[in-house]
Structure 1
Amino acid sequence: MKDYILGLNLIDLVSEKHNALREKVNETSGEQLNKTETHILAKLELHGMLTISEISRQIGISRQGAQKTINVLLAEGYVETAVVEGNSRDKHIVLTPKGIAVCRSMLEIKQSIEAEIAAKIGRDQVETLRKLLTEDWL
């Protein structure tokens, strides 16, 4: 364990663990996706279809930043635009089969990492942590 972790407050400790977990998922997946790209893919997996404006609001970046990242995901074949009848103004973004496959692969990796964590700290501790993180305390 890194010694500096012992002196962190709760917010920074959660951030450090989050970053370490995201790094491990990305390294294991072999995909060359950055944090913003994986965040957008996760939001699209959850919601099915979102506009660029909705994506930017949900992940907390500018619309221009979302557009730039989505352009990369479009070029790499992870997402595509969808036509929505009666709405020609907004660009709607959906996952492609490649994007869906990457999301499924990342889910399997996350489940595997969770199993590793449970093996180290115990299934009961993982369930307690999950319960605490899902409670309404923010």
Structure 2
Amino acid sequence: MPDVDPPGWELPLLLFAGFRTLIDQLHESLAAHGHPDVRPVHGFAMQAIGVHGASISEVGRRLGVSKQAAGKTVDRLAALGYVERVDDPRDARSKLVRLTPRGLDSLRLAAEIFEALRADWVVQLGAERVRSLESSLRTVIPAAGYPVDVPGWFG
């Protein structure tokens, strides 16, 4: 019997399931290491805020959501101690959202966890298959970089 390619609709579901598996494992580990309240949308928001901070409008644009939706996410992150609002040194009328040490710690820890998760995939699939998968995905995704607008895109 000749090999038959799977149906096209299966590819995005497999990619999403792989993504979801990694994100679920990340959040399980984050919770075990002192960050039980961080949700996937929070990680995207903290990436959108970045190490230099951002205005609520910038966060909304980067996430692909309204300023109001970005404000709600920032409010939640502030209540959890991951971000703070400070005066914007570029514009005295504006506030800048900045990561707190707790927010920076969660991003640092997430990076370490992703390294461990990738290492698990290497054990399961082999280093060459993982490198080939990563290389293949880099070939087909736009060169613009990694989008953090997933919350808005799904909305």
> Normalization by structure 2: what TM-score?
0.75
Of 35, 38, 52 in structure 2, the residue corresponding to residue 33 of structure 1 is: 38
* Deviation sequence 1:7-27 (CA, Å, 0-9, x none): 643222212211121111001
User: Relative contact order (alpha carbons < 8 A, sep ≥ 6): 1 or 2 greater?
Assistant: 2
Distance 1:134 1:84 in 2: 36
* Deviation sequence 1:89-115 (CA, Å, 0-9, x none): 433211111111111111111111110
Q: Give the direction of change, closer, same or farther, for the CA distance of 1:50–1:86 in structure 2 (3 Å limit).
A: closer
Give RMSD over aligned pairs. Answer: 1.9
Say whether residues 1:14 and 2:15 are aligned partners. Answer: yes
> Normalization by structure 1: what TM-score?
0.84
| Structure label with greater radius of gyration | 2
Task: Give structure 1 stretches of 5+ with no counterpart.
Answer: 1-5
* Deviation sequence 1:65-122 (CA, Å, 0-9, x none): 1101100111111011232224134332111111111111111111111100011001
Of 54, 75, 81 in structure 2, the residue corresponding to residue 50 of structure 1 is: 54
Please give the secondary structure, in 2, of the residue aligned with 1:102.
Answer: helix
Note the C-alpha offset of 1:134. 2.3
Please say if residues 26 and 32 of structure 1, whose CA atoms lie closer than 8 Å, have aligned partners that are also in contact: no
The aligned length equals 132
Alignment of 1:43-82 (within 5 A): 43-45=48-50, 48-82=52-86
Q: Which amino acid aligns with 1:52?
A: I
Q: Give the direction of change, closer, same or farther, for the CA distance of 1:137–1:86 in structure 2 (3 Å limit).
A: closer
Of 66-75 and 124-133, deviating more is 124-133
Say whether residues 1:23 and 2:24 are aligned partners. Answer: yes
Q: Which structure: greater helix fraction?
A: 1
Please give the secondary structure, in 2, of the residue aligned with 1:126.
Answer: helix
Note the C-alpha offset of 1:34. 1.6
Q: Which amino acid aligns with 1:48?
A: H
Q: Which amino acid aligns with 2:39?
A: N
Distance 1:135 1:81 in 2: 39
Of 92, 96, 107 in structure 2, the residue corresponding to residue 92 of structure 1 is: 96
- Identify the residue that residue 118 of structure 2 maps to in structure 1: 114
Q: Percent identity?
A: 26
